Structure 1
């Protein structure tokens, strides 16, 4: 049986390659039917912000990748509710908001955790 994997993305989509790499790992795991989840923490919640202009910072837009997660069978997408509120973002339909206690329980559910 495959071990479950939680990918924690803490970087904004325009701060470097980490956000893209996190999504690539999740999409690859979904393509191989691995039990995988994505948790957006800290500046990682900026990936959920609407109307981003990725070209302005010479980055590739990640919103299409986020929208494709469901097509790859990835339904476990979460966002830290405190991180969302601290950055003035509203809850997104793409990610389930979790408080600190729920995040601790979520991390405990997975066999392996990668933080980018």
Structure 2
């Protein structure tokens, strides 16, 4: 059986290459039928925010990659409730469906995966 992987994305979408790399890893893993899920923590929750304007900072939009995740078998997306609240974001403002997780739920979530990658 393939090992399951959780990718934790903690960086804002335009703060550097980490956000794009996390999505690339998820898409690649999904393409090879590896069970992959993603968790957005800290500034990583900004990746899920609707109505971004990446062209203002001369970057490519990550929305297409986020929308493609289910096509590659990456069906479980999680977002930290506390990270959303600290940044003034609501679950309704997210561009893609993600399961909101409390700190306690996150502690239970991590051991479910064989591999955890943090970017």
Q: Size of the alignment, in residue pairs?
A: 116
Normalised by the length of structure 1, the TM-score is: 0.96
- 1:112 matched to 2:85? The reply is no
Normalised by the length of structure 2, the TM-score is: 0.94
Q: Is the 8 A contact 1:67 1:94 kept in 2?
A: no
Divergent runs of 4+, >6 A: none
Map of 1:61 onto structure 2: 61
Q: Is the 8 A contact 2:35 2:73 kept in 1?
A: no
User: For structure 1, which runs of at least 5 residues remain unmatched after alignment?
Assistant: none
Map of 1:28 onto structure 2: 28
Whole-angstrom CA distance in 1 between matches of 2:58 and 2:16? 10
The RMSD of aligned alpha carbons is 0.9
1:1-116 pair list within 5 angstroms: 1-91=1-91, 92=94, 93-116=96-119
Shift of 1:51: 0.9
- The SS at the match of 1:37 is strand
